Amino acid sequence: MNITFRTTPEKRDIKRVMEIVESTKFFYDHEVEIAAELVAERLAHGESTGYYFVFAEVDGVTAAYACFGPITMSKTCFDLYWIATHNDFRGKGIGRQLLEETYKHARNMGCKIIIAETSGLEHYAPTRAFYISNKFDLEATLKNFYDEGDDKLFYTKRIG
């Protein structure tokens, strides 16, 4: 399996990001649309959006992507807005390699701490396990943030 990475979004990525996010079966329709909108916004307005991407390609097919960017009012913290691997490519270590590539680019931009947010619902247990296996720490929990019984969890990783 030949994995390559690129950081420049292309118009075709709007549709592919939707396909990747939909394939995971983790997200609501409006979340899928938001994921694609971030790519479209970056294409339209460039780096001023604060959205940066890393795309993982396997034999020419975009298999996974990450979207990240600096947090306003912080000199060293970045958000990991999205990281998703198409269901057809899961379990092959692509997400871990994508995360390492994302760290590299974020560090070059001054990031020392990267923050990932996710839900506390059981459905998101694989997502939490992914962060934990990649040495993220559970930093904070906001109870009932998304809905009654659906907490927002903040995972952090020191990369600087």
Mean pLDDT by 10 residues, the chain (160 residues): 95 98 92 97 97 97 98 96 97 96 98 97 95 98 97 96
- Rounded to 5 degrees, φ, ψ at 27 are -115, 150
Cβ count within 10 A of residue 157: 20
Token pair recorded at residue 25? 């079966």
Closest CA to 38 of 24, 55, 56: 55
Q: What is the pLDDT of residue 160?
A: 83
CATH architecture for segment(s) 3-158: 3-Layer(aba) Sandwich (3.40)
Cut 0.85: pTM above it: yes
Q: What is the pLDDT of residue 28?
A: 87
Cβ count within 10 A of residue 90: 16
Which value, to the nearest 10 degrees, does the dihedral of the CA atoms of residues 53, 84, 70, 104 take?
-70
**Helix 29-45 / helix 12-24 crossing angle, nearest 10 deg:** 160
